[in-house]
């Protein structure tokens, strides 16, 4: 059996529970047996997870990662970190929304600890925020944007996230030297633990991550205005994202990354910007912009009044201050920070 096969089949089986249409896309190896080529299942998993998670799984499932070596171990850490980071950002987006709508009360002790942890993100900070926000919503009986979270996020899930923090600190940052035998054992053990997390968050397949590329106003003297939205779908097995278009009587936020319940309407969504941004539409029309790379970026730290991001495909550090909407992103970030931390 292939090194990834057990995890792929487990995660796919859970994903199908939330998105039954996936089962129709699977071809059987034998008409008399319901067995599927795990490579087809892997591709479906990659496509149906949001891009920041899917791209890491694409790397993990690639041919270059089939050996139980240090490179595979590092990629397992990268996959769990991106998964936790994405979940954390979704939860923070809902915390901000719920607080502004007057549905959520944020305790002072949460605000104080959040402020310190949010300036420089780490695996430990992701784990703390996911647990703390999860308990906050449960205690105040607030419904999640993704209602599946209430059933999938429990103490067992939080403990499974906590497991990675000391492991990442020691092994991921090369604080201890592992023998080849130890690396092989950890690859097997960590793959099983990663599978558990991915199974618990497989409900993400029901939702679409999109980037708002453009909004045009359409108006005539005999009709009310409508808003033509052009989205890039950020659920794909490659970075050549497909565009989708809808007309609505209302409009959403320009140049934002949204998590949507239904791609055919903008009635229900979470705005994940400025925590997740898409630079693919940036026009490199000045020399100052030549260093900008077109990618999906995720917030990593805030230092000296500067937002810093990490790319999902770009590996080098990129200064994004020359983006045309950087000042807007900075204002949005400070607004999010002040909303949750109660600091100006």
Contacts of 255 (CB under 8 A, 6+ apart): 211, 212, 213, 273, 278, 281, 325, 328
pLDDT for 263 = 75
Q: Do residue 31 and residue 50 come from a single domain?
A: yes
DSSP 3-state assignment of 140?
Answer: coil
Q: Do residue 248 and residue 325 come from a single domain?
A: no
Q: Do residue 295 and residue 265 come from a single domain?
A: no
Last residue of a domain, one of 244, 272, 300: 272
Last residue of a domain, one of 206, 232, 258: 206
Q: Do residue 303 and residue 243 come from a single domain?
A: no
Q: Do residue 119 and residue 44 come from a single domain?
A: yes
Last residue of a domain, one of 154, 189, 206: 206
Give the integer Cα–Cα distance in Å for 230 and 86: 23
CA atoms within 13 A on the CB side of 49: 30
pLDDT for 168 = 78
Chunked into runs of 10 residues, the chain (344 residues) has average pLDDT values of: 87 96 73 64 95 96 92 95 97 96 94 92 95 96 96 96 87 73 94 97 94 70 69 68 64 78 82 93 80 91 94 89 92 94 66
pLDDT for 205 = 95
The alpha carbons of the chain give a radius of gyration, in whole angstroms, of 21
**Cβ 318 vs Cβ 297: under 8 Å:** yes
Give the integer Cα–Cα distance in Å for 100 and 94: 10
DSSP 146-214: STTHHHH-SHHHHHHHHHHHHHIIIIITT-S---HHHHHHHHHHHHHHHHHHHHHTGGGGGSEEEEEEE
Global confidence as pTM: 0.90
Helix pair angle (155-167, 123-139), 10° resolution: 170
pLDDT for 34 = 47
Q: Do residue 127 and residue 229 come from a single domain?
A: no
DSSP 275-328: TEEE-TT----SGGGTT---SEEEEEEEETTEEEEEESS--S----TTSTTHHH
Q: Do residue 37 and residue 180 come from a single domain?
A: yes
Q: Do residue 236 and residue 344 come from a single domain?
A: no
Q: Do residue 137 and residue 67 come from a single domain?
A: yes
DSSP 3-state assignment of 87?
Answer: helix
Q: Do residue 88 and residue 186 come from a single domain?
A: yes
In the structure encoding, which two tokens stand for residue 136, read together?
């906050």
Q: Do residue 81 and residue 158 come from a single domain?
A: yes
What is the count of structural domains for the chain?
Answer: 3
For residue 341, what are the domain limits?
Answer: 273-344
Of the candidates 101, 164, 103, 100, the residue with the CA atom closest to the CA atom of residue 130: 164
Give the integer Cα–Cα distance in Å for 152 and 26: 26
DSSP state of 120: B
Q: Do residue 236 and residue 304 come from a single domain?
A: no
């Amino acid at each position: 059996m292939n090194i990834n096969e057990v995890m792929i089949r487990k995660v796919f089986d859970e994903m199908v529970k939330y998105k039954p249409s996936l089962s129709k896309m699977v071809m059987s190896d034998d008409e008399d047996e319901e067995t599927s080529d795990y490579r087809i299942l892997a591709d479906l998993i990659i496509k149906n997870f949001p891009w920041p998670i899917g791209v890491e799984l694409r790397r993990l499932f690639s041919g270059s990662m089939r050996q139980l070596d240090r490179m595979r171990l590092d990629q397992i850490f990268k996959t769990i970190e991106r998964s936790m980071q994405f979940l954390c950002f979704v939860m923070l987006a809902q915390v901000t929304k719920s607080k502004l709508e007057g549905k959520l009360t944020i305790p002072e002790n949460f605000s104080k600890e959040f402020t310190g942890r949010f300036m420089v993100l780490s695996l430990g900070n992701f784990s703390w925020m996911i647990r703390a926000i999860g308990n906050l919503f449960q205690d105040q009986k607030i419904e999640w944007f993704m209602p599946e979270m209430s059933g999938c996020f429990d103490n067992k899930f939080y403990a499974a996230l906590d497991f990675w923090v000391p492991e990442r600190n020691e092994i991921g940052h090369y604080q201890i030297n592992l023998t080849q035998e130890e690396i092989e054992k950890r690859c097997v053990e960590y793959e099983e633990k990663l599978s558990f997390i991915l199974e618990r968050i497989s409900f993400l397949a029901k939702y679409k991550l999109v980037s708002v590329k453009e909004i045009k106003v359409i108006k005539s003297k005999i009709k009310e205005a409508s808003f033509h939205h052009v989205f890039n779908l950020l659920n794909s097995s490659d970075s050549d994202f497909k565009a989708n278009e809808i007309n609505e009587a209302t409009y959403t936020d320009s140049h934002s990354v949204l998590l949507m319940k239904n791609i055919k309407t903008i009635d229900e969504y979470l705005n994940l910007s400025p925590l997740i941004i898409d630079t693919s539409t940036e026009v490199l029309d000045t020399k100052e912009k030549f260093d900008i790379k077109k990618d999906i970026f995720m917030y990593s730290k805030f230092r000296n009044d500067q937002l810093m991001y990490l790319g999902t495909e770009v590996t080098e550090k990129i200064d994004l201050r020359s983006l045309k909407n950087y000042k807007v992103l900075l204002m949005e970030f400070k607004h999010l920070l002040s909303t949750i931390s109660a600091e100006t």
